[in-house]
Amino acid sequence: MHFASRILLLVVLALPPAALAQQRIASLNLCLDQILLRWVDPQNIVSVTWLSGEDHYRRAPLPEHVYLNRAQAEELLPLQPDLILVGQFGAQRAAQRLRDLGLNVVAIPDAYSLEQLRDQLSALETTLGQLPPLQKQKRQLAKLLAAPLPPAQASALILSANNITYGDGMLEHQLLERAGFSNLAAQQGVKQLGRVSLEEVVAAQPDLLVFYGGEKDFAVAHLATRHPALKNYIDSGRIYTLPEELGFCPALVAAEVLEQLTDKRKSFVDAQ
């Protein structure tokens, strides 16, 4: 065997099995779109959903060669993907049709809690291989989950568009607790989602006001004009804005959000 050929063979044998099969990857799920676009070589991506072409969801460059699908099996067949990623619930008809046609379709579990997020990252690692960004996110999350739940040393309240707040049973609530905040909405009995008026926010007097929502639907500057107490929060830096990605693909940002919230809580404690 020629020397160069032997070297090439050794390189191929050294690659993890998942890496060998991922020359052409497609996605039928918005979150998985964004993970591919951020973590995988663009040349290996052949298709993502049309939602990832929308400005509201786009978080990474969209290569010109990538086809925007609408979760139809017939769209993907001409692209000849080696791997098709699908979420736990969406696009199930297309996924089954593609499996019946002999294509490699892998369902990645959805994540609505930190524990499910850990499982999701493990499933992605099994499927995509040990991608450096994925490994970094896994290490960050594992480290944060391994730490004991800290005592609540400050209070917080999440305020989203249409005066929606987040209570017990939500990933956002878990992040607050893990960062050392007591979630006032959960203390008041809110399960999952609830509503809170600006007057109730002011009366609750949280140490940290957490904003959540897009700029078009929920402008902090607009809120400040609606109630002077909120302006005081903004002016004093007692606010934190959750990234929109947390709502549709927490794998991309959850670990960083937890670290930032923890730092925010420490700043309150240090100031006392």
pLDDT at 212: 85
Q: Tens digits of per-residue pLDDT, 36-72? A: 999 999 999 999 999 999 888 887 889 999 999 999 9
Average pLDDT of the chain is 85
| Higher per-residue pLDDT: 271 or 196 | 196
Distances (CA, A) of 265 to 141, 149, 169, 257: 18, 14, 21, 12
Distance of CA 46 to the CA centre of its chain: 22
Weakest-pLDDT range from 63-72, 105-114, 164-173, 208-217:
208-217
| Structural domains in the chain, sorted by start | 13-143 (3.40.50.1980), 150-271 (3.40.50.1980)
